[in-house]
A and B are shown apart, each in its own frame.
Chain A
Amino acid sequence: MDIMFRTIVSTATRTAAAAKTHHKGLPASETPKTVQPPTKSPPRNHLFVRVDPYGFERPQDFDYESHEEMMSEYLAVLRRRSVKWSKLLHGNVKVEKNIKVKRYVRKGVPKEHRAQIWMAASGAQEQLEKHPGYYHSLLKNKHNAKLEETIRLDMHRTFPDNVLFRSSSESCLQTALYNVLLAYGHHNNDVGYCQGMNFIAGYLIIITKDEEKSFWLMDALLGRILPDYYTAAMMGLKTDQEVLGELLKVKVPAVWHLMQQHNVMWSLVVSRWFICLFIDVLPVETVLRIWDCLFYEGSKILFRVALTLIRHHQALLLQAQNLPDVCERFKQITHGEFVEDCHTFMQKIFLEPGSLSMASVRKLRQTCRDRIVAEEAALRP
């Protein structure tokens, strides 16, 4: 697995500071032997330029010019952040919750520290240390055949556009993905396996390069950070879709009216956003920056992202003439420069939607949940 990573990790994202700590925490055998010197811009016509640093093939219509332009600025940011993070951490694995770290997280966790920060901030590290061997014992126990089959059905349908997940690739991550999902399904019987979890586990494996860490991060996300999105009734998902609607009613009323006018249910346009935590919706780097905040600050961040996307593209959305048009435009707003430039986008999500307190989100969740429960009860014969 590591060979593949070493080959495809773009030299462009490595920096002098990053190189020193790169792959820190991995077993010695996995540590890259050679450290590449930092480069200022992505190499042109590089063999692997068609594949991004995470193994995803770039789409046919990928705009290399504007990507390079964006990256040349972003790399300077990454270098600066990397130095700052190295100073902040200097070997320390504990991540405190304070204003300074929060600011640091919002400005982006460097790739080389990402696994460590996610583990520490989410409490996954603590759980892993408290339960040594638990993950492997889940895999050794007898498995639920139905669960196995459901997971297996999605193996070839998880990131077929990623070279690391291709069954033809010699370092295929499908086994790791299967193991993490199977272990989690047995660990949390209420959830088992829900489509969407495969994408989440996939990203975790790409970032941590470690099954056990990915498992505990899943546990943190699904068990503590997110509401019950993936349980059989999907109540948390239904609730948060309605909460987004309520927030828009106040913050972007014109779009709220548009949705009413065309009779568009929120689930139609945003269920993917919540279920996949923006995977396969927004560009990879942008998703990872969102997840930095998700692990550190919690699920509120998902509303910030959704509100920013919608508010920023209000004019475009309001031109929609009918329901399919609304759907199409909701897809359009997740592409393009605005979301590709992840650093600026992440600054925007804390400015554009205005204030959003956890207390008000909690209150809205309660109201919406009560409403849905009442509606569903009324529908039952």
Chain B
Amino acid sequence: MSETYDFLFKFLVIGNAGTGKSCLLHQFIEKRFKEDSNHTIGVEFGSKIISVVNKFVKLQIWDTAGQERFRSVTRSYYRGAAGALLVYDITSRETYNALTNWLTDARMLASQNIVIILCGNKKDLDADREVTFLEASRFAQENELMFLETSALTGENVEEAFVQCARKILNKIESELDPERMGSGIQYGDAALRQLRSPRRAQAQSAQECGC
């Protein structure tokens, strides 16, 4: 049962209902498309350890229900998230139009330094596309988001989305972000490598607020 990792990041998957959030998470963790499943009620949870730039990072991922009214319930989980996948469906303009709302929520309620990657999901349904790549990448640029088009069905760019987001957070730790800041959404793991920060700081980890 013992797991070795250097860091633990809290991640969120947010976006409108039916954009494929749970399928992205399932594809990422199980490496296959989740066919025929009930939609998410409330919040579901998954985790996986990935290797990014010589570090083992455990992602603890909170998959949220997309229906508008569940937001008043799911918003409570935003606190202390280090990263987020903001998902829309490239075949539905409505899900794209809702992005600003989701973004406001995430920036307001999660960690100040939250790293967000925009995912235009259902890339495999290119024939039914309602949102162009160019338009979405402009939106991403304006809002300082990373951006990928993904397909939970084929698996294209799914792993990449999670990895890129994690890599950016690691970069931030090396430069400006202090994992020991309250609500950073980052914890040190048991691997106890912690070369990124001075050893002195590592002692403070037990005092961290987040128990996830």
Total A-B Cβ pairs within 8 A: 73
Mask, A270-284, CB within 8 Å of B = 1, is 011001100010000
Q: Which residue of A lies closest to B22 (CB)?
A: A157
Enumerate the 3 nearest inter-chain pairs by beta-carbon distance, A residue then B residue, closest first: A160-B36, A271-B42, A157-B39
Residues of the A chain whose Cβ atoms lie less than 8 Å from the Cβ of B210: 263
A residues in contact with B76, CB < 8 Å: 265, 267
Q: Which residues of A contact B (CB under 8 A)?
A: 150, 153-154, 156-161, 194-196, 199, 230-234, 237-238, 261-263, 265, 267-268, 271-272, 275-276, 280, 322-324, 327
Are the CB atoms of B36 and A153 closer together than 8 Å? no
Q: Which chain A residue shows the least CB distance to B1? A: A321
> A324 contacts which of B38, B42, B45, B73 (Cβ < 8 Å)?
B45
Q: In the complex, which residues of chain B have a beta carbon less than 8 angstroms from the beta carbon of A234? A: 69-70, 72-73
Q: Which residues of B contact A323 (CB under 8 A)?
A: 211-212
Across the two chains, which residue of chain A brings its CB closest to B60? A324
Q: Does B140 interact with chain A (Cβ within 8 Å)? A: no
Looking across the interface, which residue of chain B has its beta carbon closest to that of A264? B211
30 residue pairs of the A-B complex, CB under 8 angstroms, read A154-B17, A154-B39, A157-B37, A157-B38, A158-B38, A160-B37, A160-B38, A161-B36, A195-B65, A196-B41, A230-B69, A232-B68, A234-B69, A238-B72, A261-B211, A265-B77, A267-B76, A268-B77, A271-B41, A271-B42, A272-B41, A272-B42, A275-B41, A276-B41, A322-B211, A323-B212, A324-B45, A324-B60, A324-B212, A327-B45
Q: Which residue of B lies closest to A275 (CB)?
A: B41
Q: Which of A153, A159, A238, A322 contacts B38 (CB 8 A)?
A: A159
The CA-CA distance from A157 to B18 in the complex, in Å, is 9
Which secondary structure dominates chain A's binding surface? loop
The answer to whether B73 and A238 touch across the interface, beta carbons within 8 angstroms, is yes
Q: Could you tell me which residues of chain B, from 60 to 98, have a CB within 8 Å of some CB in chain A? A: 60, 65, 67-70, 72-73, 76-77
Q: Are B41 and A324 in contact (CB under 8 A)?
A: no
Inter-subunit contact B72/A153 (CB<8 Å) = no
Contacts of A160 in B (CB 8 A): 35-38
Interface assignment of B137: CB less than 8 Å from any CB of chain A: no
Given contacts A153-B17, A195-B70, A324-B60, contact A262 B211 (CB under 8 A): yes
Please give, as numbers and ranges, the residues of chain B lying within 8 Å of A271 by CB-CB distance.
41-43, 73
Interface digits, B107-129 against A, CB 8 Å rule (1 contact, 0 not)?
Answer: 00000000000000000000000
A-side contacts of B43, CB under 8 Å:
267-268, 271
Q: Are B211 and A263 interface neighbours, CB within 8 A?
A: yes
Complex CA distance for A262 and B208, rounded to whole angstroms: 12
Q: Which residues of A contact B73 (CB under 8 A)?
A: 234, 237-238, 267, 271
Question: Which residue of the partner chain B has the closest CB to A194?
Answer: B69
| A230 surroundings in chain B (CB, below 8 A) | 69
Q: What residues on A are CB-neighbors of B69 within 8 Å?
A: 194, 230-234
* In the bound complex, CA of A160 to CA of B39 (Å): 10
Residue of chain A at shortest CB distance from B77: A268
**A154 to B76 CA separation, bound complex (whole angstroms):** 24
Q: Nearest Cβ in chain B — how far from A196, in angstroms?
A: 6
Is A153 a contact partner of B18 (Cβ separation < 8 A)?
A: yes
Contact A194 B67 (CB under 8 A): yes
CB nearest to A195 among chain B residues: B67
Q: Does B164 contact A (CB under 8 A)?
A: no
Closest CB-CB distance, A50 to chain B, in whole Å? 15
In Å, the complex CA distance between A322 and B38 comes to 27
B17's partner among A156, A195, A238, A275 (CB-CB below 8 A) is: A195
CA distance A237 to B69 in the complex (A): 12
B41 CB contacts on chain A under 8 angstroms: 195-196, 271-272, 275-276
